[in-house]
Structure 1
């Protein structure tokens, strides 16, 4: 009896300690997970406001904050329009993030911005936009600078990436039939980026990751990043990397200077296309895409200026990589339609014999407004280089081949 009494007392004591240690709120749970991973969220002054906004996302719909990869349990609902349209390129911009980075593409420390004000955004407006052309499901990500709003500040970059991913997970868990998300990664801090990668994919349920074309001026094939690519590829199965262009920078005397030679032009219109070319050519000549074969890449704006550069660079300087690279571009590269890309630009990409099954639909909402998006959509529907069936595949089916079991369908 005495032994039984002792065991009961120990059980009660242990249970009491666990209850006492259990997080009391969503905010506490998020902070606890961050602390476990060595992340100090408090280094960002607005963290209490951010945590409250994330918690409110759950509470507004009565959804619990839970761990685990909560995959889509059913096929996204068809709203209206042509087919069951899937948007692989759209952005979430909660008010708290717009307060941190009021100019898209740049970093708050330098005040350089990306040349244009970060637009307002909310879930209701996003869903209303989706209804205008019949989008049933969107993959959300943060645009540039993403987690790199504080150049050179390791602690705040790491903390911001975690807060971004908790917010994106909140949107995806609260509206699972409508949203999935690409996780933010705090490169150039490689060890911490590996930690965030595993947390976002394995615990928050990200369907892939979103990288910027450069992180603090370092392009994605940079040798420093090799351990990150090894960790990503080592997760097993197909890993999806969405690469979004951001402001190009040069580091001069320990300061980051926007490398835009033509300030009269909004750099998102021209330099962003060049950024996609720079970073994917870097990934090619450094053979990152050749060495890590589980990884698939989504290129925005049907590759920006990258297709134009393929023959020029690989046919003149890296002829030994030419055929192997083309094979990768045709198999593990996926090309979204965001921006006015199907008037003429798409023809240059398809000239490389890119399979039409690797073409995806993207809108770039809210950076491209509804009127421009409608015109872009009509240009796809009018494009003579695709059959009606291929257009329907681009809008509503090709994404299933990319995401596979990362999304579930009825």
Structure 2
């Protein structure tokens, strides 16, 4: 790629207030260390990897760090979102941001989403795949989904550690994150959230976990065993409403399944930097660029055009 062209929808930011809050509680990202971050290092990486714009977000565990700490979560969300807005303002065209919200408190989350979208100019909202063990199709979260739907907002779903112990010696990003992305996506569909809120655009991280691979298993068993009132075609339709990023997923086994399942226009470029190193980005970029079944137009769509449709301010 001769000049930075990609729009990276899965790139992370490490706001100082968030890093301090995690350090004070002895937290990390599911057994994965919190790396150093600066706007300068982010732009250096983007130039190297052919990325023109990164839409940045805070990763797991998000901003709600302990049960019952709604006040602290609201304050941390505001600090994180103001920092993201500042970085976007200081680096126009290169940095955008997804706003963090303090779920599982739906009222506080809705209030912060409105402020971030209307006042801070956020490009969308990032939601962890579960909020203190509650998944995103939880009916109590409907007020947030309704507000996001009224705004036709973009929602980026990032995996979190599921409400269970880590596998010994296995940080959550290795296995549990893939599982939890799939779990919350299925929860959103089977609880009717994707059916009720059709204007919101939901991006699933890491190629959707194993959703593309197992989608027809989910639809078939649900309709024949779990709930015979469900139509398998309707379940597949709702599953296909999701968008998917390529972070750590443009691989020989995952990419064919993703391309076979995703709707046209629903695959977006993602790097997962700095939690995934630049070497990982180089590996997946090379495989994506060399993939024989993608035309130049399809490659451009994944790298940029599909994201331009979600974020019109980035259109060229």
TM superposition score normalised by structure 2: 0.92
Q: Does structure 1 conserve the Cα–Cα contact (< 8 Å) formed by 2:243 and 2:266?
A: yes
2:14 equivalent among 70, 93, 98: 93
Q: 1:90 to 1:96 in 2, by over 3 A?
A: same
Q: 1:113 to 1:125 in 2, by over 3 A?
A: closer
How big is the shift at 1:408? 4.8
2:212 corresponds to: 307
1:325 equivalent among 216, 235, 239: 235
Of residues 312-321 and 385-394 in structure 1, the stretch that sits farther from structure 2 once superposed is 312-321
Distance in 1 (CA, whole Å) between partners of 2:193 and 2:13 is 29
Of residues 303-312 and 263-272 in structure 1, the stretch that sits farther from structure 2 once superposed is 303-312
How big is the shift at 1:82? 5.5
1:60 corresponds to: none
Q: Does structure 2 conserve the Cα–Cα contact (< 8 Å) formed by 1:260 and 1:271?
A: no
Gaps of 5+ in 1: 1-79, 103-107, 250-258
Q: Does structure 2 conserve the Cα–Cα contact (< 8 Å) formed by 1:83 and 1:395?
A: no
2:227 corresponds to: none
Distance in 2 (CA, whole Å) between partners of 1:118 and 1:261 is 17
Q: Does residue 393 in structure 1 map to residue 301 in structure 2? A: yes
User: For 1:248, what is the secondary structure of its paired residue?
Assistant: coil
Gaps of 5+ in 2: 225-229
1:17 corresponds to: none
Q: 1:300 to 1:382 in 2, by over 3 A?
A: same
1:174 equivalent among 54, 71, 90: 90
Q: 1:156 to 1:223 in 2, by over 3 A?
A: same
Q: Does residue 372 in structure 1 map to residue 280 in structure 2? A: yes
Q: Does structure 1 conserve the Cα–Cα contact (< 8 Å) formed by 2:249 and 2:255?
A: no
Q: 1:387 to 1:264 in 2, by over 3 A?
A: same
1:3 corresponds to: none
Larger Rg: 1
Q: Does structure 2 conserve the Cα–Cα contact (< 8 Å) formed by 1:87 and 1:363?
A: yes
2:146 corresponds to: 230
Q: Does structure 2 conserve the Cα–Cα contact (< 8 Å) formed by 1:277 and 1:309?
A: no
Q: Does residue 357 in structure 1 map to residue 265 in structure 2? A: yes
Alignment RMSD: 1.9
TM superposition score normalised by structure 1: 0.72
How big is the shift at 1:401? 1.6
How big is the shift at 1:362? 0.5
User: For 2:272, what is the secondary structure of its paired residue?
Assistant: coil
Distance in 2 (CA, whole Å) between partners of 1:378 and 1:398 is 20
Question: Which aligned pairs between 1:65-80 and structure 2 lie closer than 5 A?
Answer: none
